[in-house]
Amino acid sequence: MTETAIPGPRGQWLVGQLPAYERDRMSWLRTNQARYGDFIRLAPHAVVVLDPDAAQQIFTQTNDTYLLDNAIVVNRRTRAAMAARLPLVMRRRILASRAMVNHLTTENIDGHVATLSERLRAYAGRDIDLFTSTTAVCGTATAWFSFGGGTRESRVAEIADASLAAFYGILKILEVGEVRVPWLPRPAARKAIKENDALRALIREEIAARRAATPPPRPRDLLDELLRISDDDADVAAAVRLVVFTAPGVPGAASSWITLRLAEQPELAARIADEASGPLSIGQAIGAHALPAADHFLREVLRLHPPQWMLSRTALRPTRLGPYVLETGQQVMVCTYLIHRDPRWWDDPETFSPQRWQRAPERGRYLPFGGGPRGCPGSPLAKIQLMALTSLLARDYHLRVRHGDTEFGGLLKPSDAFAVMEPAAERSVS
């Protein structure tokens, strides 16, 4: 018998438990999971899901039964418009994925690793805000990967800055909770729309300039590859904008945790450094799967610190989820953070243990990037970035980090985190 009433604590009219959740998100989640189980009513229109099988169902059925939420789309009218545009959105995502795969040659990966190394050197020896710096490294390096072969340096920097502004605009919406109560004024959303429009305008100008020029004999960057395989400039603009817009966020947050964990685990850092000092370049070693210590370390970082710690979808029609029935328009929020730390699915889940990755976990229990048909087209590049940054940070720097607690905002990140990256050649003997 399928139940229809999802359990949860009594809340306020219209907003349910949202005020209590926003005061202390993780405390609310842990307390109510212990009381109500893996399906918890947060508000009349929102449900939290902590069951990995249900999470897989949600991700797999995205674009059919569920709609991928974003920070701008919050009501029935805008969701209907977004659902109507799904074929166009998916066509552009597929285009971005195809171009990304084509352009990720060993030569281009080596070039991207060199860009990451150069960006890290800009922060060497300074006391830096960790999250701000890692998002800038990832965002700027991706702008160079996407535009750096055929665009003047000052314009690439302008695009990188615009992508960072657009990213932080969306992050602000998530962190102030505008998406939770759709009928309230949305000043952060209005500002984010303007910042996204500015990024799109820069991209359109660059596309027009390249179309007017003689095509190069081979693609110099991701934009060249997109222009080679597509004649639709609107599709090209949307595809490359998706790559550069998403670049600072998840990779940047993950890189913050990578830096923190390397600083806390010097023996692991030394092992990763030795591995990265072999005969192959880091780019070649990534392609050859020759960095197992870095790979296991990164997987464990993403298990304990998934940047997308809460992933949202909205039901497009009434549907069963586990023992319950969701109504049309009901938001489901999958908490990957708690799934990754659940002792039912993981041995000693709170312990940082890269060696656990010597064998694969049970399918569906590890969800650092969600899953299903709406995986990010930039994820192949992001995974290479994170492997490269793990190896570069361990090999080239001695890291000192001070930080507060974990911040459960729009992304999972260490709060009040600052780092000093001392070049390895300058390490003091002690």
Q: Phi-psi category of 177—alpha, beta or left, where left has phi over 0 and alpha has psi -120 to 50?
A: left
* Per-residue pLDDT at 381 exceeds 80: yes
- In the chain, % helix, strand, coil (3-state, to 5) comes to 55, 10, 30
Main-chain phi, psi angles of 56, to 5 degrees: -60, -40
Nearest to 109, CA basis, from 27, 222, 259: 222
Query: What 3-state class would DSSP assign to 335?
Result: strand
Question: What secondary structure does DSSP assign to 75-91, as a single string?
Answer: SHHHHHHHHHTHHHHHH
Distances (CA, A) of 318 to 53, 194, 315: 19, 35, 7
Question: What percent of the chain lies above the pLDDT cut of 70?
Answer: 94
For residue 48, is it within any domain?
yes
| pLDDT tens for each residue of 137-182 | 999 999 999 999 999 999 999 999 999 999 999 998 888 766 555 5
User: CA 273, 105, 239 angle in degrees (round to 5)?
Assistant: 110
Q: Of the given ranges (12-26, 77-91, 135-149), which has the lowest mean pLDDT? A: 77-91
Beta bridge partners of 49: 39, 334
Mean pLDDT of 67-96: 83
**What total of structural domains would you count in the chain?**
1
CA distance 92 to 95: 5
Assigned domain for 292 exists: no
Coil, strand, or helix at residue 369?
A: coil
Overall average pLDDT of the 39-65 stretch: 96
Give yes or no for a contact between 55 and 340, defined as CB atoms under 8 angstroms apart: no
Contact between residue 128 and residue 259 where contact means Cβ atoms under 8 Å apart: no
User: 70 lies in a domain?
Assistant: yes
pLDDT at 72: 66
pLDDT value of position 79: 79
Would strands 412-414 and 66-68 be described as parallel, antiparallel, or unpaired? unpaired
Question: What percent of the chain shows pLDDT beyond 90?
Answer: 83
The pLDDT-based confidence of 76 (bands split at 50, 70, 90) is confident
Tell me how long the chain is.
430
Residue 364's pLDDT is 87
Bridge partners (DSSP) listed for residue 402: 418
pLDDT, residue 1, reads 41
119 in any annotated domain? no
Does residue 18 belong to any structural domain of this protein?
yes
Average pLDDT over residues 84-105: 94
Parent domain of 354: 1-74+309-367
pLDDT digits (tens, 9 = 90+) for 297-330: 999 999 999 999 999 999 999 999 999 999 999 9
| Confidence bin at 186 (pLDDT 50/70/90) | confident
Split at pLDDT 50, 70, 90, the class of 348 is: very high
How high does pLDDT run on average in the chain?
A: 93
pLDDT at 162: 98
C-alpha–C-alpha distance, residues 42 and 99, integer Å: 40
- Evaluate if residue 92 carries a pLDDT over 90: yes
pLDDT for residue 371: 79
Where residue 3 falls among pLDDT bands split at 50, 70, 90? low
DSSP state of 410: S
The structure tokens listed for 405 are 């607690």
- 354 backbone dihedrals φ, ψ, rounded to 5°: -60, -25
Phi, psi for residue 403 in degrees, rounded to 5: -160, 165
pLDDT band at 427 (very low <50, low <70, confident <90, very high): very low
| pLDDT bucket at 83, cuts 50 / 70 / 90 | confident
Of 169, 142, 138, 143, the C-alpha closest to 157 is 143
pLDDT for res 428: 37
Say if 313 falls within a structural domain.
yes
pLDDT of residue 356: 97
- The C-alpha atoms of residue 307 and residue 357 are separated, in whole angstroms, by 19
Give the pLDDT score at 430: 29
Whole-model pTM: value is: 0.93
CATH at 40? 3.30.43.20
Distance in angstroms (rounded) separating the CA atoms of residues 182 and 180:
6
Position 429 confidence tier, pLDDT thresholds 50, 70, 90: very low
Would residue 167 count as lying in a domain?
no
The predicted pLDDT at position 178 comes to 62
pLDDT confidence of residue 131: 97
- 329 is a domain residue: yes
**What is the Cβ-side half-sphere exposure of residue 123, based on CA atoms within 13 angstroms?**
26
Give the tens place of pLDDT for each residue, 353-375.
Answer: 999 999 988 888 999 988 777 67
